[in-house]
Structure 1
């Protein structure tokens, strides 16, 4: 029997899957796996715990190799919140979960001998020799830290792999003293440095038991830790095992079999976990979180209590306190969580053209299909909306072979200049140009058609000038592959000429009721705003929105119209390059159908 210890939240579940798959590939011994976790969403909405469903899935993997293997899930939250609630180290680059292992000495049921592994490790060989090492005279055994033993002390060890003698640790009080040190004073690499300073008896292990830099044949545990690179300039690289494409293309192909199996199993698990849910995506930054709360409230009020709704808020970095207010709005059948797209956006951010009224978040919707392979169908909605109907009705719409369900853009149809933009700038009939603020998405079809790949190709090759960046690209790429929906599912606040109550009102462009009076359908916004956690802030923002800011909006509108004219006459706009220019059409291949 080999006892393993991990610690983390739902964000490292992928690492636990890879750890389990790598264990059963090389080890036939039964494993008792102890996972320390906690719900710490009051601190950060992303700090959600490993769940019982996660535990059962992991145990099933371990039992493939040995039916006696077991996985135990332990809530360590009370220990942490009691002893380290205001630790100055909780706001560093490391999450609070890195400290949970320091409570293993006081958590009931932890074995006397146990091997702790960071969730970014991968088991590359049989653990028997390591686990059988005699540490009866030591508190722990560890390998040197690749960089630390040069700069922080010649015996400075890495804490990502620790063979622990819990009896000796309890007797020496090592973990208790380490917790006390981390709770009071900010420390560089806090828990690791505290253990290095305070341990009295340690056994240094060969590097093969915690290989942090190289990919060697004799490696037993591969640790995907941060690496320093000196050329072509000083920088760091921090690729984790679940970032499979980067591992396989940048680091090594040594673990391809494990990583490919991980991708298959994760997809199966996610599909089963979310069976029957309606996935609804928003994209947001801090500026729009108050209005997202209004949209979410309207969605919840009209949700069918017999259906399950799962809200995913795609973001880069958001204010944790504000995000926590959003997730706290969740109900029994409407879940809400924030999903970071930082890594996805890093490689393309510099290539994006953004108007003054847009942020990079407008592009997030293009990546949903590949980021969430567990879903074949979903809804994307901008945050500046309110719902007067059950969003499930939109989700239930049959798309057939179309990639998107959309509504024609009323703003484009409202003036001749914008009509010319669609037809002369993009090569699309103005009445077929759709708004991308509400999208019923055939994610399976979008993956098959490679919408993301086509977008990146056009972005990198042509870098078109646009006024509605993501929207223009989607209109061009998905041309003739969309289902046009009733205007009531994306009724823009240009006028109130819709017969009846629109199912969804879209406060598009500058016409925002939280800034201006007499906006069409503004009564619905204020109706749903009431009682939201940001009601006072929204009302204060409106009161403070004076002539100076309105003048900026007016200038922005004028600049938009001027830019439209420029693009219409641009020799390198979408229509001329992709639909008229022979070289451009040939280069684009079958990307678009003009």
Structure 2
């Protein structure tokens, strides 16, 4: 009997595409079971030169890299609402990840590109979702009443203050049900309807629509890089990414990131000025302002 392929989806623009290299190599190094991996990349403007480099990172007999143009992922009938954050519009692409995988694929793992995998991804893949739409890890803010994130209008929506709130950077998704019940449109609708309450981009909409419908995963599968852990399964660089000199999370995780990166065509990469990060954030805000106009 043919083993099921592991379906992974990521999304990136050219600015953060180098992160894909370390992530992909980390998956490759730590995957020891015989399931083949289909690694889907939603390309939001990645250069052809970078694509060529990424293509060389993993053995195609173990990991197949599949490319998808971001402009072809979002249905014409859907308009992504523009928020006031400095997040790039690329972050919204995760909402459409179930439409990237083949139609016979019933589940997928979505990973933010600012993660590295320190364990065999098959362990997460083989975690049963049961009747849940998605599996995720509780966010730093923990609950919907988090003052700086969360769901500010949770009372209006009929939720309690202690309703658990998840981080959308690592998701196990029941792709079949997601497509059948059109969760992408539901999330975008929530973001449009309650746009004055949106603080963390699509994460707000996902938590509104999936409230009490998600399976809580072990925190080790989305471990935030500013916290100590001797054995995390996935490390998530929530704040400043390790490619910048201004990186401010645990040093051990930056070392791990560069260990994987050194096994790729970017082995001689040196961290760049944190000013470039700030300029990019300003650029994202200006771009959104123009889109609103």
TM-score range, shorter chain: 0.7 to 0.9
Q: Which has the higher helix share?
A: 1
Conserved 8 A contact 2:3-2:35:
no
Normalised to the residue count of structure 2, the TM-score between the two structures is: 0.82
Q: C-alpha root-mean-square deviation of aligned residues, in Å?
A: 3.0
Kindly tell me: are residues 502 and 354 of structure 1, through their superposed partners in 2, closer, same or farther at Cα, counting changes over 3 Å? same
Aligned to 1:316: 44
Q: 1:340 aligns with which of 69, 72, 75?
A: 69
Residue 528 (str. 1) matches residue 248 (str. 2): no
SS in structure 1 at match of 2:188: helix
- Unaligned residue ranges in structure 2 (runs of 5+): 286-293
Q: Higher mean Cα deviation, 309-318 or 464-473?
A: 464-473
Residue 351 (str. 1) matches residue 81 (str. 2): yes
Alignment of 1:347-496 (within 5 A): 347=76, 348=78, 351-353=81-83, 355-356=85-86, 358-372=87-101, 373-410=103-140, 412-413=141-142, 418-419=146-147, 421-422=149-150, 424-427=152-155, 429=161, 432-496=164-228
Conserved 8 A contact 1:315-1:361:
no
Q: C-alpha separation between the residues in 2 aligned to 1:282 and 1:361? A: 10
Aligned to 1:249: none
Aligned to 2:290: none
Give the paired residue count. Answer: 274
Q: C-alpha separation between the residues in 2 aligned to 1:448 and 1:346? A: 15
SS in structure 2 at match of 1:536: coil
SS in structure 1 at match of 2:169: strand
After TM superposition, give the deviation of residue 452 of structure 1 in Å.
Answer: 1.5
Conserved 8 A contact 1:406-1:435:
yes
The structure with more radius of gyration: 1
- Unaligned residue ranges in structure 1 (runs of 5+): 1-273, 560-594
After TM superposition, give the deviation of residue 489 of structure 1 in Å.
Answer: 0.2
Q: Deviations over 1:318-337 (max 9, x none)?
A: 21110111122121211112
Q: C-alpha separation between the residues in 1 aligned to 2:142 and 2:152? A: 14
Alignment of 1:195-274 (within 5 A): none
Aligned to 1:507: 237
Conserved 8 A contact 1:282-1:380:
yes
After TM superposition, give the deviation of residue 512 of structure 1 in Å.
Answer: 1.9
Q: Deviations over 1:451-502 (max 9, x none)?
A: 1121233345454441212111110001111110111000011221x3x310
Conserved 8 A contact 1:309-1:333:
yes
Q: Deviations over 1:378-422 (max 9, x none)?
A: 100000011110111001000110011100012x249x9944642
Alignment of 1:512-591 (within 5 A): 512-515=241-244, 516-517=246-247, 519-520=249-250, 521-537=253-269, 539=270, 542=271, 544-545=272-273, 548=275
